[in-house]
Amino acid sequence: MAHAFVKILLLISVFLFTLPHKSDGQFEEWCIADEQVTDEELQRALIWACENGADCSNIQANQPCFLPNNIKDHASFAFNSYYQRMKPKGATCYFNAAAFITDVDPSHGSCKFVKHK
């Protein structure tokens, strides 16, 4: 009985160790565009994010996150940039209901979605 209990504890420990987490013990999270939101709403929110603290340089032409060149991907990058930079000041991942939090890293190819501590 004790041996089975130790095995269960070991399995739980291995599972918890493999979950993505930050050094402060919290799970990693990214802010991305909601695919169900219209392109027009995403465009408005994207412009707002870029004008209010997001670093949108990587979604410009010939930059690592320009492709795929669509509003959803560009908005996701801008939303995440704003959220990661501004969440220490109380910002949320809302963007007028155009975005949500995910624990799946949306980075792709040479496009890396930043995480700030």
Summarize pLDDT for 11-53 with one digit per residue, the tens: 444 344 444 444 444 579 999 999 999 999 999 999 999 999 9
The residue among 92, 51, 91, 50 whose CA lies nearest residue 74 is 50
Residue pair 113/85 in contact (Cβ under 8 Å)? The answer is: no
Pull the structure tokens for residue 47: 């412009």
For the stretch 42-88, pLDDT in tens is 999 999 999 999 999 999 999 999 999 999 999 999 999 999 999 99
pTM of full prediction above 0.85: no
CB atoms within 10 A of CB 89: 7
The number of angstroms, rounded, from the C-alpha of 46 to the middle of its chain's C-alpha atoms is 15
